[in-house]
Structure 1
Amino acid sequence: MPPTLSSFIPALVLFAPALLWVVGLTPAGLANSRPRLMARMNIGAAWLAFASALAAALAQLFDTAHSWTLFSLPLPGDIGAFSIGTYVNSVTVIMLLLVSFVGAIVSRYARNYLDGDPNQGRFHKWLTLTLASILTLIVSGNLLMFSLAWIATSLCLHQLLMFYRERPTAVLSAHKKFIASRIGDASLLSAIFLIGSTLHTLEFDEIFARMAALEGTLPAGLQAASLLIVVSAALKSAQFPLHGWLIQVMEAPTPVSALLHAGIVNAGAFLVIRMSPIMSHSGTAMALLAIIGLVTLTLASLVMLTQTSIKVSLAWSTTAQMGFMLLECGLGLYSLAMLHLVAHSLYKAHSFLASGSGVDAFRAPVIRYESKGFQFGQLTLALSIAGAMTLGVGAAFGVTWQQQPALIAAGTIVAIAVSQLMLQAATLLGNAAALLRALGLSAVVSIAYFILHALFDHALHGSVLPLRDAASSFQSVLVPLTIAAFVGLLLMQQFIKAARSDLRDRLYLHLYNGLYIDVYITRLLQRVWPAPLQSAQSQGA
């Protein structure tokens, strides 16, 4: 790549958050006095950030990584230096494009949504600062700069979650998020200190080069750092058992929910993918990450089926998808996790912004049919076809169980879901032609799944470090466990949808309440930080 273009890319990626920082630093009083101007400035800066990200992606074209440092300050203790700069690789440009695009759409939607609100200008100010923080996080070339952007994202988001301070539930959920985030921040900063103490650098490019050349076992400091990264990622992505805050922040304005679920909550998976050169060496950390993700997605997928509020159901869906994403990371499927991240962000942003239309669609007349109860034969057929189809399609792409069992397992999960849905549709139509069409569509989805994975795997080549042999031994246990968990989840879902029984009704009630896990967390929080509900009650009195 020509030297001029190499220096042009860092300037482009740094321009995206820099412009948003300039707009977001507008004083709150001035923003509220000129709300329409503040909204236009927010939207304009967001679209310019997306244009900058698009230009950087075209210039990068998934080429080699580029790092650029604007300012550097050595730190004591030989742990490296704090620097302001960028690190650009395929992961950077994909995330930059995704978040800047979602941010621009949400900003445009928020202009109409908040129109007439007395604090509209303040909302756009904090929305701009939140976008600036997450984009800074993405382009950071230094671990300490990364951590500061990580903390700033949480603090700016907190102002958006507290937008309606008169609502007790909004305050309580924001405080839950605040505490979980501070624990995650402490874990990340501790991990950064351990990494700097061991490798004597905080620059991403130098860390990745040294980890790629590492032979033998992982040093104890980096082993502990990888476990702390798992804790930080799990808390950021609302994983079990501290997942309740994500469900309750629905009191915030809808644009906040869209940005949170489509962008910020994905930061946990982004952290793991970004730190893959260290994570891939630690079998213990990867196993812990996979187990946390598997437990979370199992719980959230079942609870989601019982919810009656569209936004709450979407929130449980996000928790489940984040669990699935971290499970993919834990199994070493970084390319698949990145594909999942992009698809989920676009889908969830649309789902939240269109949630009002979803209510109208739910009220519309639909064709009703009576459930035929638990259909074990249909389920067995779906599982058999899905397994055979995935193995066949995977073999055509050169993927075998011996070489990539985790990828085969992920493909089987997708095929099971699609086959089951298609077979249900075919059963309703009740003819062989519909069944063949359903199976054909399932095959198309399976093929597309492996094609997209191959494309993302090619795009991320050199930007992530695959699992090393020392970290792959746990897959012989986790992969079958993952498949068994999804089969069990499918059986439970069928049981919940089947004809009523006392056992089913009791299970439905407990799942509707999230198995009361968040109730105990809330009680504990009220002992530690009881102010929100007390202040709300006094205001009501």
Structure 2
Amino acid sequence: MSVTITTAAALAAPLALWLPAALPSDLANRFGRRLVPLANSLAWSAFALAVVALLTHGFGPEESLTLLSIDLPLDIGAFAIGVYVNAVTVIMLTLVSLVGAIVSTYARNYVAGDANEGRFHKWLLMTLAAILTLIVAGNLLMFALAWIATSLCLHRLLLFYPERPAALIAAHKKFVFSRIGDASLLIAVILIGATLHTLNWAGVGAAMESIQGPLPATLQWAAWLIVLSAALKCAQFPFHGWLIQVMEAPTPVSALLHAGIVNAGAFLVIRMSPIMSVSGPALTALAVIGLVTLTVASLVMLTQTSIKVSLAWSTSAQMGFMLLEAGLGLYSLALLHLVAHSLYKAHAFLAAGSSVDAFRAPALQFDAAGPQPWQWLVAFQGAVLMALVAGFLFGVDPTRQPALIVTGVIVAIAVAQLLLQALVLQDKGVLLVRASAIGALVCLGYFGLHTAFESAIAGSVRPVPLPGRALDTALSLAIVAVFIGLILLQHLFMRLAAPLRQAIQVHLYNGLYVDVVVTRLITRLWPLRRTPALVRGG
């Protein structure tokens, strides 16, 4: 396809950010103060180009541009340098470039005066460039290489303070998990190319449409490897510990990681929807992984006393929820969740220092006896009614969208929690009315935004066939049971006997000690070595 404004803008956005790659770290530090305005300008320029791509493409048909193509042996397709633009591309490109520009601007004052200020901005731009390259890549092998580059560039940022032992251990664990994920993705790409004889995203989608009957075994294996790679990138249980411990890195790094890079696992699944949608067991396994992770992380998060650590556990839980949605085939909801979580988490980390102001506000007074049975009944009835009305208004069809009903129940449970908190206040009045209004807006916003995102990316993802197996029904019931159990546990926990409650709280606070076992295993199989380059921070 010929060059268009859309493809040119999509190509230029990451290309501009790769410019600092040629600048040695020592030289970057020497001209640190001069590099900072340039870094900020490049980051905002990438965002401006992303907006151009969004406005010129809208949610129209896919566009692609290939600059260089090299045929690979064994008829697995070609390695191509180019861009692939569809609705998912422009949404992700705009989102990540915006977060990157904001983080770059925030870092301008955060690392001002540091001896390695120039090096920090260099690697920040290169990390952002890698993730933008990942988003626009038009070729699976180029996508995989950008996936690896993102991890390697981020590794430099995580080691910005190499004198901190906790930072070294966390970065080492992430490095090991990332290499496993990289190998999984590369093998998956090779299997896809060997089966479909193409490595271009457009070609993969067309080839998958022509496959009739059961999915070939090679593509089934590729789907399982994609699940593994996505789970490792999204810090899913039990490989989540590094995400909690990278708090030793500078706050801008935490913001970029939690708001942008860690979401790449969900983006991988959405991008691979032509294969994942018909993978069956692999997609179900992804949903189970997400469900287990969000359950554990949600419980542990409630016991944390550090704001940033609590936010990290929240990210792990949100990633689990996101992969759960993708595993259910709700790609539009997963993408909506990704956008909302990125914006929220970027703000949460960059504003973490002012979060203590919330504790200075007058505390709400709740009834000492806790919620009564009638209050539970009123809260759940009200929430279910709101969800049903919102779903009806936006044309939700239970027979055509059974998975959406499951997530709708989750929204109803969340709204019930909001109403329940208002009902147990000593001074209900206006707050109950406000909670009801917020609950109604949440339900309308949820189904409304889902409808908008589903319409926007309808031609960019392959829908999942309607479920017909007992396993799908069992998974749906398990999901609903987990969320009901979480809300019940949150309210009934304080009624447990003090010794039992304290014992449970201690174990949860320590993450059930799972990461301790994982850390010992990793350091034994792949010992951490403090090389001179590592100590200097590279």
Q: TM-score range by the shorter chain?
A: over 0.9
What is the alpha-carbon distance in structure 2 between the residues aligned to residue 279 and residue 26 of structure 1? Answer: 40
SS of aligned partner of 2:80: strand
For the Cα contact (< 8 Å) 1:233–1:268, is it kept in 2? yes
Residue 126 of structure 1, aligned match among 123, 144, 152: 123
Partner of 2:150: 153
Partner of 1:91: 88
Percent sequence identity is 59
For the Cα contact (< 8 Å) 1:240–1:296, is it kept in 2? yes
Structure 1 residues 215 and 258, CA gap change in structure 2 (3 angstroms): same
For the Cα contact (< 8 Å) 2:364–2:425, is it kept in 1? no
What is the alpha-carbon distance in structure 2 between the residues aligned to residue 83 and residue 187 of structure 1? Answer: 20
For the Cα contact (< 8 Å) 1:171–1:532, is it kept in 2? no
Is the counterpart of residue 233 in structure 1 residue 244 in structure 2? no
How many residues are treated as equivalent by the alignment?
A: 533
Choose 377-386 or 141-150, whichever is displaced more.
377-386
What is the alpha-carbon distance in structure 1 between the residues aligned to residue 330 and residue 372 of structure 2? Answer: 32
Partner of 2:351: 354
Residue 413 of structure 1, aligned match among 394, 401, 410: 410
Is the counterpart of residue 59 in structure 1 residue 56 in structure 2? yes
Structure 1 residues 487 and 79, CA gap change in structure 2 (3 angstroms): same
What is the alpha-carbon distance in structure 1 between the residues aligned to residue 466 and residue 422 of structure 2? Answer: 43
Q: For 1:158-198, what per-residue CA distance to the aligned partner results, in whole angstroms no more than 9, with x for missing partners? A: 00001100000000000000000000001101100110010
For the Cα contact (< 8 Å) 2:274–2:461, is it kept in 1? yes
Choose 370-379 or 325-334, whichever is displaced more.
370-379
For the Cα contact (< 8 Å) 1:372–1:498, is it kept in 2? no
Partner of 2:492: 495
Choose 22-31 or 62-71, whichever is displaced more.
22-31
SS of aligned partner of 1:428: coil
Q: Which amino acid aligns with 2:398?
A: W
Partner of 1:216: 213
What is the alpha-carbon distance in structure 2 between the residues aligned to residue 534 and residue 219 of structure 1? Answer: 45
For the Cα contact (< 8 Å) 2:400–2:466, is it kept in 1? no
CA-CA distance at 1:68 after TM superposition = 1.1
Partner of 1:187: 184
Partner of 1:261: 258
Residue 455 of structure 1, aligned match among 452, 455, 458: 452
Choose 431-440 or 512-521, whichever is displaced more.
431-440
CA-CA distance at 1:376 after TM superposition = 5.4
For the Cα contact (< 8 Å) 1:25–1:125, is it kept in 2? no
Structure 1 residues 252 and 434, CA gap change in structure 2 (3 angstroms): closer
Partner of 2:273: 276
Is the counterpart of residue 486 in structure 1 residue 478 in structure 2? no
Is the counterpart of residue 382 in structure 1 residue 390 in structure 2? no
Gaps of 5+ in 1: none
SS of aligned partner of 1:332: coil
Residue 112 of structure 1, aligned match among 109, 113, 137: 109
CA-CA distance at 1:374 after TM superposition = 5.0
Partner of 1:476: 473
What is the alpha-carbon distance in structure 1 between the residues aligned to residue 334 and residue 372 of structure 2? Answer: 32
Q: Which amino acid aligns with 1:372?
A: A
Q: Which amino acid aligns with 1:223?
A: Q
What is the alpha-carbon distance in structure 2 between the residues aligned to residue 371 and residue 24 of structure 1? Answer: 59
For the Cα contact (< 8 Å) 2:236–2:290, is it kept in 1? yes
What is the alpha-carbon distance in structure 2 between the residues aligned to residue 10 and residue 498 of structure 1? Answer: 59
Query: Once superposed, what is the RMSD of the aligned Cα atoms?
Result: 2.1
What is the alpha-carbon distance in structure 1 between the residues aligned to residue 269 and residue 385 of structure 2? Answer: 32
Q: Which amino acid aligns with 1:399?
A: V
Partner of 1:170: 167
Structure 1 residues 283 and 139, CA gap change in structure 2 (3 angstroms): same
Choose 56-65 or 381-390, whichever is displaced more.
381-390
What is the alpha-carbon distance in structure 2 between the residues aligned to residue 204 and residue 533 of structure 1? Answer: 41
For the Cα contact (< 8 Å) 2:293–2:320, is it kept in 1? yes
CA-CA distance at 1:8 after TM superposition = 2.1
Is the counterpart of residue 510 in structure 1 residue 504 in structure 2? no
CA-CA distance at 1:383 after TM superposition = 2.7
Partner of 2:200: 203
CA-CA distance at 1:507 after TM superposition = 1.0
For the Cα contact (< 8 Å) 1:306–1:512, is it kept in 2? yes
Q: Which amino acid aligns with 1:183?
A: I
For the Cα contact (< 8 Å) 2:371–2:423, is it kept in 1? no
What is the alpha-carbon distance in structure 1 between the residues aligned to residue 468 and residue 5 of structure 2? Answer: 38
Given the two structures, how large is their TM-score scaled by the length of structure 2? 0.95
SS of aligned partner of 1:531: coil
Q: For 1:40-80, what per-residue CA distance to the aligned partner results, in whole angstroms no more than 9, with x for missing partners? A: 11111100000000001000011000111000000001000
CA-CA distance at 1:30 after TM superposition = 1.1
What is the alpha-carbon distance in structure 2 between the residues aligned to residue 187 and residue 471 of structure 1? Answer: 30
Q: Which amino acid aligns with 1:511?
A: L
Is the counterpart of residue 13 in structure 1 residue 1 in structure 2? no
Partner of 1:367: 363
SS of aligned partner of 1:478: helix
Gaps of 5+ in 2: none
Choose 410-419 or 217-226, whichever is displaced more.
410-419
What is the alpha-carbon distance in structure 2 between the residues aligned to residue 222 and residue 374 of structure 1? Answer: 53
Partner of 2:34: 37
Partner of 1:69: 66
What is the alpha-carbon distance in structure 2 between the residues aligned to residue 134 and residue 124 of structure 1? Answer: 16
CA-CA distance at 1:381 after TM superposition = 3.3
For the Cα contact (< 8 Å) 1:386–1:412, is it kept in 2? no
